[in-house]
Structure 1
């Protein structure tokens, strides 16, 4: 009988680092942008959620991000404007369209904060197909409309494909005064410098940068939606705890797989040695 062969010992994963600070300005640069675009006329609606309830909805390698033990789900409606690739000029038609997304708040084992999109409704079919195939993002094709009259802005969407067909949202907000100094929670909900997604069983992190958000208080005039339920979340039991508006910002997305804080510190250490 041959002698027993030594069995490979399981590798102990490195402990998760604490979440990086919430900062109103991007903590990482994007010198070589993969994508450029502008987000315009944004309405941010947020509800508190139990972190344990949303943890199964996040991709592997991430956990719910929280403030005082509470996580949040966001319903964000806006106008996407002129998506461009690799520094090329943004597209006026295919790259400009209304969008409504349902998002959760995440942090990975390296401490990078981000968002996880549960759905992204958009009106242009080709960008929907490219985003689904290229980045595995849950974009869906919808009929959408954004209309503004004075200080009131209305967002409407009805889902076409892939479904659930007919899922919809109707949001109307009244824009209030500019916010000189956002609260800790308002920074947490808006100053997110990357997205986390599952990509063929692996974690994908896509960093972004943009100027500091110009935020306004906003009054929710009307909200009828079932996008949260369609995204696997419970129907909100109350009105959103935060309603904000922003005229928008230009955005740059960096290349996937940017160095993590841990990898960056290791590289610096090697250079010093």
Structure 2
């Protein structure tokens, strides 16, 4: 049953390949790193959360959001695992932490758009986690298309479950639903990126694989506690 409706706008994806063992050591019990052609991935995703609301509610909230995520499997179901969920909305952060046990952190964000070009700034203000600043401009370079099944693009974006750990280490998951991503290849000028260091990673080598999506409506279901232990074998 859908619990929330929302629209994600001005979505930027900045993906870096990394060694699977580096990621696996950071994951809580129950999650196994997922790989594409032998590589794990870390992705920074800035976007605008628009009109998020409980289903049927006449009132929604909109704010900037930024996350660092990787790609995992639990009990045979692929998904994304969030290392952080930073948001520029005090009420939403408070509700996410108190009601859903999600590790959201308060941040101050500024988002400026010029056509399809997006400038995104974020400064984490929460004292619950290490400081993390981010500043980038990103934009599409090609028309939108649906990722081909089996492609790295499909591996990175076509996932319909997310996992996140609470402060006490308990892992929760929820399912989301939306149409296939109208994804566009893109480019990014990343001036500041403190998300890797804040989550205990060295910054990956090389330039990221960049994608962009102008807008996609999304629904999300209820949060569930994850049971069971996943195993990763290289």
The Cα of 1:135 is off from its aligned counterpart by 2.4
Question: Which among 102, 122, 136 is matched to residue 101 of structure 2?
Answer: 136
Where 1:34 maps in the other structure, the secondary structure is strand
2:161 maps to what in 1? Answer: 194
2:199 maps to what in 1? Answer: 231
Where 1:229 maps in the other structure, the secondary structure is helix
Where 1:189 maps in the other structure, the secondary structure is helix
Q: Is 2:64 aligned against 1:98?
A: yes
Where 1:177 maps in the other structure, the secondary structure is coil
**1:155-187 CA distances to partner (integer Å, 9 max, x unpaired)?**
11011112423x200111132222435351011
1:56 maps to what in 2? Answer: 25
**1:140-161 CA distances to partner (integer Å, 9 max, x unpaired)?**
1111011111342111101111
Whether contact under 8 Å (1:60, 1:198) holds in the other structure is no
Unmatched runs of 5 consecutive residues or more in structure 2: 228-234
Separation of aligned partners in 2, 1:76 and 1:201: 23
2:39 maps to what in 1? Answer: 70
2:213 maps to what in 1? Answer: 246
Whether contact under 8 Å (1:174, 1:219) holds in the other structure is yes
Cα RMSD (Å) of the superposition? Answer: 2.1
Aligned length: 223
Separation of aligned partners in 2, 1:52 and 1:103: 16
Unmatched runs of 5 consecutive residues or more in structure 1: 1-31, 261-273
The Cα of 1:35 is off from its aligned counterpart by 1.4
Where 2:2 maps in the other structure, the secondary structure is coil
Separation of aligned partners in 2, 1:105 and 1:138: 18
Matches within 5 A, 1:208-219: 208-219=176-187
Q: Is 2:231 aligned against 1:255?
A: no
More strand by share: 2
**1:39-90 CA distances to partner (integer Å, 9 max, x unpaired)?**
1110000001111111132222110011011110010000001111143234
Separation of aligned partners in 2, 1:243 and 1:223: 15
Task: Work out which of the two has the higher radius of gyration on C-alpha atoms and give 1 or 2.
Answer: 1
Greater than 3 Å deviation, 4+ residue runs: 198-203
Separation of aligned partners in 2, 1:62 and 1:154: 33
Separation of aligned partners in 2, 1:42 and 1:175: 10
Q: Is 2:123 aligned against 1:155?
A: no
